[in-house]
Amino acid sequence: MAPDSFAEGRGGSRVHRQPDSAGQVERARMALVACPVAAIGTEARHDLQDARRAFPEPIEEDVYFCGWASPRSYGAASYLIRRPAGNVLVDSPRFARPLVERLEALGGVSLMVLSHIDDVADHEAFAAHFGCARIIHRADAQGTLAGAERLIDGNAPVSLADDLTLIPVPGHTAGSVCLLYRNHFLFTGDHLAWDTDRRRLEAWRDYCWFDWTAQTASMRRLLDQHFEWVLPGHGDAVSLPAATMRAALGDCVRRMEEPARRAG
């Protein structure tokens, strides 16, 4: 969000340099708005109207980053896809009035795709306000998610529309799914992300709540898909040419398989 000002530290994020240009100040204000736990403070009072109106923030073409992360989804990123056939909200941001008003101005929400049980935050409020159907894998449809309008089963990809494919990827949770949009954008939840420091695609065994072997197999199945963006809930997003992305994914799969080979 604002790498010129904020960086990862031990156990969290830290300010590594004060913003000193108009652009850096505005990005820092957007980070303040997006922060799920209100951990960013200022010595002087700032007008945050422009920062609030900046979300959803365009990423590329008709895909947007929602900001307004929720502590109820551990600060996960969420996304908006604008489509003539109906907009799609991928995972749940905070149900914040400025964001809701911007979503209304952009055409509302027709469908809410929930990647897994962890990143659902205020899904009930969004569904009630926009009247949108929620879709999640049955294996993660627990608690309030049991009332989701559509549940999917099994591990086979599910076509939601000509431009939308839901891909079950059990591993991080039993019901994790990815959403593929136009064979270009892959929304990955907590299944897969870019590690900017190591410059590679990554999955994290320490944060695999269901089954690492299943997650490895799910990752390998993604090699059958074509995409040039990885847009995760946690971790960094990345855009790479399709061939480079596939090579990076293959490298990720090989690293995931290494411990099992050594154990054998």
Q: Which domains does the chain have, with CATH numbers?
A: 34-39+54-263 (3.60.15.10)
Q: Which CA distances in Å does 149 have to 72, 133, 180, 264?
A: 21, 5, 20, 43
Q: What is the pLDDT of residue 157?
A: 98
pTM: 0.84
Residue 23 CA, distance from chain mean position: 25
Q: In what order do the strands lie in the sheet with 150-152?
A: 57-60, 63-65, 79-81, 88-90, 111-113, 133-137, 150-152
Q: What is the pLDDT of residue 72?
A: 86
Q: What is the pLDDT of residue 148?
A: 97
Looking at residue 48, its amino acid is: L
pLDDT, tens digit, 9 for 90 and up, residues 229-262: 999 999 999 999 999 999 999 999 999 998 655 4
Contact predicate 192/233, CB 8 Å: no
| HEC-encoded secondary structure of 136-151 | EEHHHCCHHHHHCCEE
Question: Which of 25-34, 156-165, 230-239 shows the lowest per-residue confidence on average (mean pLDDT)?
Answer: 25-34
Q: What is the pLDDT of residue 49?
A: 66
Quickly state the pLDDT bin for 194 (edges 50, 70, 90). very high
Q: Which residues contact 152 (CB under 8 A, 6 or more apart)?
A: 135, 136, 137, 138, 158, 166, 168, 177
Contact predicate 208/250, CB 8 Å: no
Segment 179-196 mean pLDDT:
97
Of 241, 239, 203, 243, which Cα lies nearest the Cα of 223?
243
Q: 165 pairs with which residues across the strands?
A: 159, 180
Segment 216-229 mean pLDDT:
98
Q: What is the pLDDT of residue 73?
A: 85
Query: What is d(CA 201, CA 199) in angstroms, rounded to the nearest whole number?
Result: 7
Q: Token digits for 212? A: 């690492």
DSSP percent split of the chain into helix, strand, coil, nearest 5: 35, 25, 45
More confident residue, 37 or 45: 45
Q: Which residues contact 237 (CB under 8 A, 6 or more apart)?
A: 59, 77, 193, 194, 229, 230, 231
Query: What is d(CA 166, CA 63) in angstroms, rounded to the nearest whole number?
Result: 17
User: Which DSSP letter does residue 173 get?
Assistant: S
Quickly state the pLDDT bin for 173 (edges 50, 70, 90). very high
Segment 209-215 mean pLDDT:
97
Contact predicate 210/172, CB 8 Å: yes
Segment 218-222 mean pLDDT:
98
Phi, psi at 115, each rounded to 5°: -70, -30
DSSP labels, 63-113:
EEE-----GGGTT---EEE--TT--EEES-----HHHHHHHHHTT--SEEE
More confident residue, 147 or 5: 147
pLDDT, tens digit, 9 for 90 and up, residues 52-111: 677 899 999 999 999 988 888 888 999 999 999 999 999 999 999 999 999 999 999 999
Q: What is the pLDDT of residue 8?
A: 60
